Chain A
Amino acid sequence: MLTSEHITTWIRKSADEMRDNRGYLTELDAAIGDADHGNNMDRGYKAVLEKLPDDNDVGAILKAVAMALISKVGGAAGPLYGTMFLQAANALKGKEALSSEDVELLLKSSVDGIVMRGKAHAGEKTILDSLIPAHEAYKEARAAGAELIACLDAATHAAEEGMKATIPMIATKGRASYLGERSRDHQDPGATSTYLIIKTLYEAASEGDAT
């Protein structure tokens, strides 16, 4: 089970990662976008920390995250991640702890949110290229009977591989698509921040001894 404390820890860890990787994300974005992804994510998560509610309802926490990201990120990542967390918040409304099945729902609704807002698919050099593999790997691991932490470990590895797989891709969505062929040989910054989000979820769970 993941408690609301785990979730809060996850969000705080994500904020730390965004702060530490601000320059890296911006550098990635500079190659194929408008060089603001690191700054935008860092600013967004800083706002998230200020808005985190003292609430045990996971849905309420995720909704607060969504609203802060929506209003503070500015670039396309704002509405995309905002919708992602909003969909997850709606799916998990009223829950004070998340079962292994609930976490799968969290990942699934996250994918649904991004697809709905971004109208994108896998293989287009976007957030989805690390998010979809993470969801798939989690689902497979859980179906094979793995524990929650092991499932999240599998999801993190899949997200990392998915992130790296964006390097040879040609972007067809978002700002990077303006570059066409020239977007090749660069790792997608959105897929990278998504990997960080999945990774910190695993870290929050394992360090907090989730069962």
Chain B
Amino acid sequence: MIAIVIVSHSREISDGLKRMAEAMSQENVPIVSAGGMDEPDNPLGTDALLIKDAIEQVIDNDGVLVFADIGAAKLNAEMAIDLLAADQQRKVRFCDAPLVEGVLAAAVQSAGGGTMDAVIQEAQSAYHPPTDIAKETGTLALEHSDNAIHADYQIVNPLGLHARPAARFVTGLNACTSDVRLRNLTKNSGWVNAKSLNKVVTLEVVEGDYISVSADGEDAAQAHAVIGALIDENFGEGPARIAPDAAPPLESAPATAQLGPVLNGIPISPGFAVAPAHHLRTELPSVDVTRVEDTEAEVARLEDALARARDEITGIMKRSRDTANEYDASIFKAHLLHLDDPEIADIARARIRGEQLNAEAAWQQTAAILIEDYACLDDTLLRARGDDLADVSNLVLRILSGATEPITEFDRPVVLCIPHLTPSDVPALDLEHVRGICVETGGKTAHAGILASGLPIPVVFGVGPRLREVEDGAEVILDGTTGTIDIAPDAKALDNMKRKRDSWVGRISEAQAIKLDPAVTRDGQRRRVAANIASVDEAKIAVDSGAEEVGLFRTEFLYMNRDAAPDEEEQSKVYDKVVAQLGGRSLMIRTMDIGGDKPVPYLDRPGEANPNLGWRGLRYGLSNSDLFQTQLRAALRASAKGPVRIMFPMVSTLEEVLAARNELETAKESLSTAGRAFDPDTEIGIMIEVPAAAELAELIAPHIDFFSIGTNDLTQYVMAADRGNPNIADLFDSFHPAVLRAVKRTIVAAKDAGIWVGMCGAMAGDPLATPVLLGLGLDEFSMNSNQIPEFKLDFTKLSADACVDLAHETLVLTGADQVRECIKAFLEETVS
């Protein structure tokens, strides 16, 4: 094994890099951090004697490789080697390589048993400009014997073959003697050496990509077994997918086989539709590559197509502005920016002139590279921007090739079935006749998903390729609330659904008309209606849906699908954007609830037997002060831009609340010192989701400004019932009097202390729960944006006085079903 010594001017850098390298090599490689100086007043620097000691610590290995950062660090590293005894010097080499990339590559190569030369070579090739790599990877050929074993795999772990998963892949294969080659099938790359970390990461294998592996040698079967095992254990990244309601939504539905007459997808927009299925092929005409003589005429064709595309997008923009949705218009502004992006247009022009390419081929090939770049990004939101670019690129191609527009007008009602929905498709939809949309791909965070969630028709994304099996013209039932499509309904189901739809359509138009009004009961009681959001884009949707404030901004998405935690600036920008979108409405920032069912690989958290009862929410924040402080400072900074509240999740005790207050004070002090503006009176509060906190509510209330009840977790903990376990689904019920009593206790404690209390769990948006919660005295109801219009519609029909009596009645019942019956009877009696 080749040991590694890390030299940097900063001890923090060498310590941090050591941890990263150990994580990537699964702690198999001896690594010593020899950064900084033992000078309290002057810790930045390097110390040859300290480096020498570090080398001597690991000199018993097969060899020692020393890495250094800038200038004097290298001099001191060389000095340290010179100071060693002659027999020791022979085992030590200095490696001139980029520090971070070099050490990580070396650690992985060493963990796989590489020789000194192999480790150095790997470290030194650890950094190349991306374009060089793209050229390199495409050119290798597979030269394996007939005995080679070949297999394809799909990579489904969230990080793909990057960072630690790539390291585990390479380390595992390095234990085999066979020659192993790898290519990215999805991206149609060339073959690379599967034992080289650098080469593997250049393939940019992301979640969902297929790879092809060829192993040639005596233990070829073992090499495939290694890969199979890694994929089976999901590269140690925890579950492959995050549950849909666990904050950032999925990009596509689980790839489980769907049998029977019902297809499942991701619910995007609620509602019901009954209509014949209509498949729309959005495939583009194939582009032929031809050589042109008159390149200037070809450039002119491209310019003309770009101008027409610009006109078309401006037209769509205008249409969406007419429908009073400025937010949509802003997305098309982004489209125009793509269109005017010199990166694409200039390169395309240059290719026409330089390679005598036809305009279609030049444009398509240039755009494809950029779209590919977006697709490789780890950030889901950025990746979605690639869809925007693809949308623009396709529009230009359609114009260039003279292809007609996809049909978006129909003469009869249809349920659209399409492989992919682009943002520009959404406002172009013929809502007269399109009753619902089913899409093979996509998710809630894609631009198209966010736009579609505001549509007054049911929309389901991520149905998968089985959608193609639905017969054209066959009558289907689409339920946008559950995300299901009944592809072969019988007459009775059709009849039921049509009635359901008719009453739903009536209700929707009524609700849309009053959505921006305040929620006031028949007897004049007003309550605040708020939205739960989990991304910047949803803020505008919330406002358009009639939210008076944001009652829950989940911040976990900031931490997920990436390799390192976001810094203060990045978070601050996100919060500022949301505050700006809300236009003076209050924003409730809930500090990170990492843990439980929301794994974040780079935080390197220990596995927990019982994650929901584990190190999550505020518990994790308090023991990771740096991470916590960064978020608190960013959140406080947003309070200078508009009204902000800060809420801590997963609180059990008063001590935790006091500790959180202290952390907040620290953050305020550090902002004051840095001269950063914030509102010193920013309201702070806690989630009530742990029974202990509900029990202690009257003791905690005097120390904070509000409570917000999280009913999903509260129900799970009060009832001791896992919400995902079908065998005890009856127990997981927020209507159970045991849960309602905890809610009541919380509200009474809040009233006694003079603070307000809200609810941001699923129950807050459940129409059946509204009268009881109103009767118990809840001040704020926070729900998904698309529930707000109907919530307000129902709310105005209630009498607050009557609801107080109802609430008392339900609390003395013994079961959830009895509570439901009681509420239903009440509603029938008093409302309709």
A: residues with CB less than 8 A from B are 39-40, 43, 67, 70-80, 82-83, 117-118, 174-175
Contacts and interface: CB of A to CB of B under 8 A. Distances in A.
Contacts of A43: 39, 42
13 contacts: A43-B39, A70-B47, A70-B49, A71-B49, A72-B37, A74-B39, A74-B46, A74-B72, A75-B45, A78-B48, A78-B76, A79-B79, A118-B75
A67 B49 contact: yes
Given A67-B49, A71-B49, A78 B72 contact: yes
B50 interface: yes
Nearest to A83: B79
B75 A71 contact: no
Contacts of B72: 74-79
Given A74-B47, A83-B79, A117-B78, A174 B42 contact: no
A82 B47 contact: no
Contact of A71 (B50, B71, B78, B82): B50
Given A43-B42, A74-B37, A74-B42, A117 B75 contact: yes
Contacts of B76: 70, 78-79
Contact of B71 (A40, A72, A174): A174
A127 B39 CA distance: 25
Contact of A76 (B47, B49, B71): B71
Contacts of B50: 71
A64 to B, nearest CB: 13
Contacts of A73: 45
Contacts of A83: 79, 82
Given A79-B72, A82-B48, A72 B39 contact: yes
A40 B42 CA distance: 9
Interface in B559-596: none
B48 A71 contact: yes
Contacts of B46: 74, 78
Contacts, number: 56
A71 B79 contact: no
Contacts of A79: 48, 72, 75-76, 78-79
Interface of B: 37, 39, 42, 44-50, 71-72, 75-76, 78-79, 82
Nearest to B76: A79
B45 A74 contact: yes
A117 B82 CA distance: 10
Given A72-B39, A175-B71, A117 B45 contact: no
Contacts of B71: 75-76, 174-175
Nearest to B48: A70
Contacts of A175: 71
A32 B82 CA distance: 29
Contacts of A80: 75
A123 to B, nearest CB: 20
Contact of B42 (A39, A77, A117): A39
Contacts of A72: 37, 39
A80 B72 CA distance: 9
Count chain A CB atoms within 10 A of each CB in B39, B45, B48, B75 and give the residue with the most: B75
A76 B71 CA distance: 7
A76 B75 CA distance: 7
Contacts of A40: 45
A82 B76 CA distance: 10
A108 B827 CA distance: 102
Nearest to A33: B71
A70 B79 contact: yes
A80 B75 CA distance: 8
A71 B38 CA distance: 9
Contacts of B37: 72, 74
B233 to A, nearest CB: 46
A34 to B, nearest CB: 9
Given A78-B72, A174-B71, A117 B79 contact: yes
B56 to A, nearest CB: 15
Given A74-B42, A82-B79, 8 more contacts: A70-B76, A71-B47, A71-B49, A72-B39, A74-B45, A75-B72, A76-B71, A82-B48
A186 B560 CA distance: 50
Contacts of B45: 40, 73-75, 78
A3 to B, nearest CB: 29
Contacts of B78: 79, 117
B84 to A, nearest CB: 13
Q: Which 10 A-B pairs have the closest CB atoms?
A: A74-B45, A76-B72, A79-B75, A79-B79, A71-B49, A70-B48, A79-B76, A75-B72, A74-B37, A71-B47
A77 B737 CA distance: 75
A174 B70 CA distance: 10
A141 B82 CA distance: 34
Nearest to B43: A74
B618 to A, nearest CB: 41
A70 B47 CA distance: 7
A158 B649 CA distance: 72
Contacts of B82: 83
A83 B44 CA distance: 21
A74 B72 CA distance: 8
A77 B76 CA distance: 10
A164 to B, nearest CB: 25
B36 to A, nearest CB: 9
Contacts of B44: 74
B78 to A, nearest CB: 7
Nearest to B72: A76
Count chain B CB atoms within 10 A of each CB in A43, A70, A79 and give the residue with the most: A79
Nearest to B79: A79
A152 to B, nearest CB: 28
Nearest to B38: A71
B562 to A, nearest CB: 32
Count chain B CB atoms within 10 A of each CB in A76, A83, A117 and give the residue with the most: A76
Contacts of B75: 76, 78-80, 117-118
A89 B79 CA distance: 15
Contacts of A78: 45-48, 72, 75-76
B314 to A, nearest CB: 48
A118 B79 CA distance: 11
A174 B75 CA distance: 11
Nearest to A177: B71
Contacts of A117: 75, 78-79
A39 B44 CA distance: 13
Nearest to B44: A74
Contacts of A39: 42
A177 to B, nearest CB: 10
A175 B78 CA distance: 18
Contacts of A75: 45, 71-72
Contacts of B47: 70-71, 74, 78
A79 B76 CA distance: 6
Contacts of B79: 70, 79, 82-83, 117
A174 B49 CA distance: 22
A82 B45 CA distance: 15
Contacts of B42: 39, 43, 74
Nearest to B36: A74
